[in-house]
Each structure stands twice: as structure tokens, then as C-alpha cells.
């Protein structure tokens, strides 16, 4: 049995990432806030919100406290607002739905959004621009031939299976994900 990668949490509070060859990659060591303090009980946990955190146990307070976390901003956690959800800070994390969508769960905004009308070839659609939005593009189809926002939008609109388009232009390169 081989693992493609290994995480190791040492007793002094160093979390290390090793690739499939057993080599620690650059920037692969993360340090707990209480790094170097001996005789501290620590644990690494993937919490319900999707963030990986390191905890230390305090004998004085008899409680666990966070001494490191992978992502500092809640909105950076993949799926923080569910499918099609938009995550913003006002001043705390708030999830909302883009125009044409509604919350899946009216009480829990982290459950994501669903479209108000069926998305298929029978119902015409339009795209709504969401500026300054970040996206996780690994789940989407990449269109390398696209060089402009208008081309990206047009490719989505002519594909009745396309639910959204994400376009990013930076440093002379452009990315279009459908």
C-alpha cells in the first residue's frame, strides 16, 4: 500500500508535507504558535468547515486551542458557501446567491444555491457579471482558445449544459472555465 503524500505532525509542533517520493517539498513545514514547547499534546483535525487545523491542549484551562490553520480566511475554504454560493465578509463571513438563484436552505446559508428556473436548452439564459470573485477552477472545463471575456461568455451561452463561466485575465494570459 503506497500513499501519494504524507502529513507528519512532530511532537514539537511542526507539520510537514512529504510527496510520494518521501521528499519534503519547499514551504512544506508549518509551525504551531507554540512551536518548540515540549510536553504539549497536539492534534491535527480536518474540521466540519473544511479547514485543516492544529490544536494544542492546555493543562491549565483543560481545553484545546487552535495553534495553526491552513486557511486564515473562511471564504478561502473550498465550498464555504456551497454550490453557486458567493462568500463575502460583512464584517463576518456571509453567503449569498447570485441573481437568478435562491438558497437551498433558507436557514443555513452555507448549503449553497440552486437556480430559479431549469438550466437547459429549452430556457434561455443570461450571464450575470460577478466582479472580484475568486473560484476553484479544478472542477470546470478549461477553454484554451478563449482570449476575451466576450468569447468566454459566448462559449457558455451557446452550450446549454454550461451553468457558469469564470474568466480571468492576468499578465497577458487569459483563462476561461465553463
pLDDT band (50, 70, 90) for residue 139: low
Please report how many Cα atoms fall inside a 13 Å half-sphere around the Cα of residue 95, on the Cβ side: 25
pLDDT, tens only, 39-85: 889 999 999 888 999 999 988 899 999 999 999 888 888 889 998 89
Please give the pLDDT value at position 135. Answer: 67
Please give the pLDDT value at position 3. Answer: 62
Q: Is residue 45 part of a domain?
A: yes
What the block records as the C-alpha cell of 140 is 470546470
Could you tell me if 52 and 105 lie in one domain?
no
Could you tell me if 161 and 143 lie in one domain?
yes
Please give the pLDDT value at position 104. Answer: 96
Average pLDDT over residues 130-158: 75
Strand, coil or helix: what is 74? helix
Could you tell me if 68 and 80 lie in one domain?
no
Q: Is residue 23 part of a domain?
A: yes
Tell whether pTM > 0.85. no
Q: Which residues pair with 9 in a beta bridge?
A: 15
Q: Is residue 1 part of a domain?
A: no
The answer to whether the beta carbons of residues 112 and 90 sit under 8 Å apart is no
Could you tell me if 150 and 161 lie in one domain?
yes
Could you tell me if 67 and 18 lie in one domain?
yes
Could you tell me if 178 and 139 lie in one domain?
yes
What the block records as the C-alpha cell of 141 is 472545463
pLDDT, tens only, 86-120: 998 888 889 999 888 899 999 999 999 998 877 66
Could you tell me if 17 and 67 lie in one domain?
yes
Please give the pLDDT value at position 106. Answer: 92
Cα 94 → chain centroid: 15
Q: Is residue 82 part of a domain?
A: yes
pLDDT, tens only, 19-42: 877 787 777 888 888 888 878 899
Please give the pLDDT value at position 18. Answer: 83
Q: How many domains would you assign to the chain?
A: 3
Give Cα separations from 164 to 65, 94, 100 (angstroms).
40, 21, 12
Which is more confidently placed, 99 or 130? 99
Among the listed residues 166, 149, 164, 167, the one whose alpha carbon sits nearest the alpha carbon of residue 115 = 164
Could you tell me if 108 and 154 lie in one domain?
no
What range does the domain containing 62 cover?
6-72
Among the listed residues 62, 24, 65, the one whose alpha carbon sits nearest the alpha carbon of residue 42 = 65
**β-bridge pairing 166-170 and 173-177:** antiparallel
Amino acid at each position: 500500500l503506497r500513499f501519494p503524500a504524507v502529513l507528519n505532525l512532530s511532537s514539537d509542533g511542526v507539520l510537514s508535507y512529504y510527496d510520494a517520493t518521501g521528499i519534503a517539498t519547499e514551504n512544506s513545514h508549518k509551525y504551531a504558535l507554540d512551536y518548540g514547547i515540549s510536553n504539549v499534546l497536539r492534534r491535527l483535525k480536518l474540521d466540519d468547515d473544511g479547514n485543516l487545523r492544529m490544536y494544542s491542549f492546555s493543562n491549565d484551562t483543560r481545553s484545546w486551542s487552535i495553534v495553526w490553520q491552513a486557511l486564515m480566511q473562511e471564504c478561502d475554504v473550498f465550498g464555504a458557501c456551497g454550490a453557486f454560493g458567493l462568500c463575502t465578509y460583512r464584517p463576518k463571513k456571509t453567503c449569498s446567491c447570485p441573481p437568478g438563484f435562491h438558497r437551498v436552505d433558507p436557514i443555513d446559508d452555507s448549503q449553497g444555491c440552486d437556480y430559479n428556473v431549469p438550466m437547459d436548452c429549452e430556457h434561455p439564459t443570461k450571464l450575470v457579471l460577478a466582479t472580484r470573485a475568486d473560484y476553484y477552477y479544478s472542477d470546470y472545463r478549461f477553454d484554451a482558445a478563449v482570449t476575451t471575456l466576450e468569447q468566454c461568455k459566448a462559449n457558455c451561452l451557446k452550450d446549454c449544459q454550461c451553468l457558469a463561466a469564470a474568466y480571468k485575465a492576468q499578465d497577458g494570459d487569459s483563462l476561461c472555465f465553463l
